[in-house]
Structure 1
Amino acid sequence: MRLGYFAMPMHPQGRPWAETLREDREAVILTDRLGFHDAFIGEHLTDRHENITNSLVFLATLVPETSRIRLATGTTNLSHMHPALVAVNSAMFDHLSGGRFILGVSPGALPSDAELLGILGEDRNQIFAEAIDVITGLWEREPPYDIDLPGNRFTVTTASTYNDDVGVGIIGKPLQTPRPEIVGTVVAPFSKGVVAMGARDFHPLSANFLLPQWVATHWPNYVEGKQSAGQTASPADWRVARTVFVADDARVAEAYGRAEASSPYRYYYGKMLGKMRTLGRLGLFKTSREQPDDEITLDGVLRDLVICGTPDSVAEQVLALREQTGDFGELVYAGLDWVDPELARRSMELMATKVMPQVNEALGEDDGPVPEGGESRP
């Protein structure tokens, strides 16, 4: 089982923007040194607490600071810009990173972002579907491009300006062939979007704020999508994100991971609970669809969604999660604000050097991440 990283970093109001960006960069640099497989970075335009506005721009600053980790948008919100821009900018980034790029995509879920851009009344899921067809089409085709798909609002061509001798009307293609890996974050139980991912050979990443029983609903839909394309689904392609805190001492783990008022995990889920209540999406935190809204409490959410403890305890909880969800290829560690930088770094170190080796030994698989300077494996 691989170890990945996903940050939709939620920072308390009042922290200087430059300071939180430095912290977020430091976290990704640490994941590279610890041997994490990939790092996904989220983006929002109008969120005071999640203040990375463009994940690709943020990740570009990390290309020279990292050497092994794959750098992933998590996500590029496809309703926010023309798909041709996503295609050409992503292709350039793939070259800048030496082929370490993963394109994570979503429609863009935050209503205030949509309002800012004047698309609040638009069907963002439909924009997403149309945009992804244009992006993959541009990567697959040769100039002059002529993408005019039925029902697609984006007509993309350079037919009238293409000149091969001069070298215009031509877009650059990604370094990876036939294209970079495309990953979609899944945030709803029984998501039908996962069926489409399987059919298109995109890979699902199940969100960290979904109960394990709802995460388990994603795999059958992915299998259905792969079968519709005549292919076999591989658990190696499924990523499951979790909110994890590891400490050397069990009491510290419980305090920082759930109980203390200053816990970043408590802050994160307090904000998530408020957002989902406002958006009418408390079902994400419910054990059944019939559960009343007033039964959803912050302490209950923390109990159900935060994995915390010593390395031995966390390894046991990860294996128990896998029993609930079924096999998956990558556990994605959710990055939060570093209220206590020493504890935050230590948690990531223990996850890579203690927890994942135990998990993989129990599974009879590879030993897990290789920290910088460690020996490579056969």
Structure 2
Amino acid sequence: MRLGYFSMPLHPLGRTWRETLTEDRDAVILADRLGFHDAFIGEHLTDRHENITSSLLFLATLISDTEQIRLATGTTNLSHQHPVLVAAHSAMFDHLAGGRFILGVSPGALPSDAEVLGILAEDRNQIFAEAIDVITAIWESEPPYGIDLPGNRFAVTTESTMDLELGVGVLPKPLQVPRPEIVGTVVAPYSKGVIAMGQRDFHPLSANFLLGQWVATHWPNYVQGKEAAGASADVADWRIARTIFVADDPKVAESYGRADVGSPYRFYYSQMLTKMRKIGRLGLFKSDRDQPDDEITLDYVLDRLVITGTPESVAEQILAFRAETGDFGELVYAGLDWVEPRLARRSMELMAQKVMPAVNAAIGTR
């Protein structure tokens, strides 16, 4: 099982933007040095806590400061820009990064982002579906393209302006052939979107804020999609994100990872719980769809969604989680604010150097 990194990221108010951007970069650089396979970075335009506005721009600053880690948008919000821009900028990034690029995609979920862009009343899921078809079509075709898919708002052509002798009218292609890996985040139980991912050979990343029982519903749907396309699903392509804190001392693990009022894990899930309650998606945290809303407290969420403890304890919790979901190819470590940089760094070190070797040894034995 591979080890990946994902950060939304989510910072408390009162810190400068430059400070949090530097910290977020330091986390990816550390992940690279520790051998993490990839790093997914999220983006929002209008969130003071999740304050990376362009994951691609942020990741570009890391190309020369990392060596092996694959740099992934986590995600590029496809309702926010024309798919030609996504295809062209992603292709250039892939060349700059020497092929270490993964395109993570989603519709873009934050309503205030949609409002500021004037698309709040639009079907952003539909825009997403149309955009991804155009992006892949651009990478698969040659100029003048002539991309005019039925029912798709994005028609792409350079027919009237193309001049191959001058080199104009030609969109760039990625370094990776036939294209970079495309990853979609899965945030709903029994997601139908993951069926479409399987049909298109995109790879799923199950969100860290879903209970294990709901994460387990993703893989059968992905298999269904792959089979519909006449292909076989490979568990190596399934990523699952988890919120994890590892410490040498079990008391520190419980305090920093869950109980203390200043815990970044407590802050993260307080924010997530408030947001999901406000937009009517509290069901993501429920063990039963009929569970009363008032049972979904912060402590309830923390107890079920934060894996914390010593390396030995965390390894056992991950193995128990895997028994619930079934096998998967990559465990994606969720990065949070570094309230205590020493503890945050140590957690990533222990995760890479002790927890994952123990997990993989146990998987090999079983």
TM (norm. structure 2) is 0.99
Match of 1:348 in 2: 348
Match of 2:357 in 1: 357
Alignment of 1:196-345 (within 5 A): 196-345=196-345
Match of 1:58 in 2: 58
Mapped to 1, the partners of 2:300 and 2:256 lie a distance apart of 16
Residue type matched to 2:283 in 1?
G
3-state SS of 2:63 partner = coil
What fraction of aligned residue pairs are identical, expressed as a percent? 78
3-state SS of 1:157 partner = coil
Mapped to 2, the partners of 1:285 and 1:130 lie a distance apart of 30
Unaligned runs of 5+ in 1: 366-378
Mapped to 1, the partners of 2:178 and 2:321 lie a distance apart of 34
Match of 1:7 in 2: 7
Moved over 4 A (4+): none
Match of 1:376 in 2: none
CA deviation digits over 1:8-53, x for unaligned, max 9?
0110011100000000000000000000000000000000100000
Residue 310 (structure 1) shift: 0.2
Mapped to 1, the partners of 2:171 and 2:305 lie a distance apart of 44
Match of 2:191 in 1: 191
Equivalences, count:
365
Unaligned runs of 5+ in 2: none
3-state SS of 1:23 partner = helix
Root-mean-square deviation (Å): 0.5
Match of 1:371 in 2: none
Mapped to 1, the partners of 2:59 and 2:357 lie a distance apart of 28
Mapped to 2, the partners of 1:190 and 1:44 lie a distance apart of 26
Mapped to 2, the partners of 1:158 and 1:321 lie a distance apart of 51
Residue 96 (structure 1) shift: 0.2
Residue type matched to 1:133 in 2?
D
CA deviation digits over 1:142-178, x for unaligned, max 9?
1111100110000110000111100000011000000
Residue 95 (structure 1) shift: 0.2
Residue 235 (structure 1) shift: 0.4
Residue type matched to 1:158 in 2?
T
3-state SS of 2:183 partner = strand
Mapped to 2, the partners of 1:45 and 1:172 lie a distance apart of 26
Mapped to 1, the partners of 2:9 and 2:253 lie a distance apart of 20
Mapped to 1, the partners of 2:155 and 2:14 lie a distance apart of 43
Does residue 91 of structure 2 align to residue 98 of structure 1?
Answer: no
CA deviation digits over 1:50-95, x for unaligned, max 9?
0000000000000000010000000000000000000000000000
Residue 5 (structure 1) shift: 0.3
3-state SS of 2:175 partner = coil
TM (norm. structure 1) is 0.96
Residue 245 (structure 1) shift: 0.1
CA deviation digits over 1:84-109, x for unaligned, max 9?
00000000000000000000000000
Match of 1:368 in 2: none
Mapped to 1, the partners of 2:174 and 2:139 lie a distance apart of 7
Residue type matched to 2:277 in 1?
R
Mapped to 1, the partners of 2:197 and 2:339 lie a distance apart of 36
Residue type matched to 2:28 in 1?
V
Match of 1:44 in 2: 44
Match of 1:123 in 2: 123
Residue 364 (structure 1) shift: 1.1
3-state SS of 2:71 partner = strand
Residue 125 (structure 1) shift: 0.3
Mapped to 2, the partners of 1:146 and 1:34 lie a distance apart of 45
Mapped to 2, the partners of 1:345 and 1:362 lie a distance apart of 25
Mapped to 2, the partners of 1:224 and 1:180 lie a distance apart of 23
Match of 2:174 in 1: 174
3-state SS of 1:39 partner = strand
3-state SS of 2:79 partner = coil
3-state SS of 2:80 partner = coil
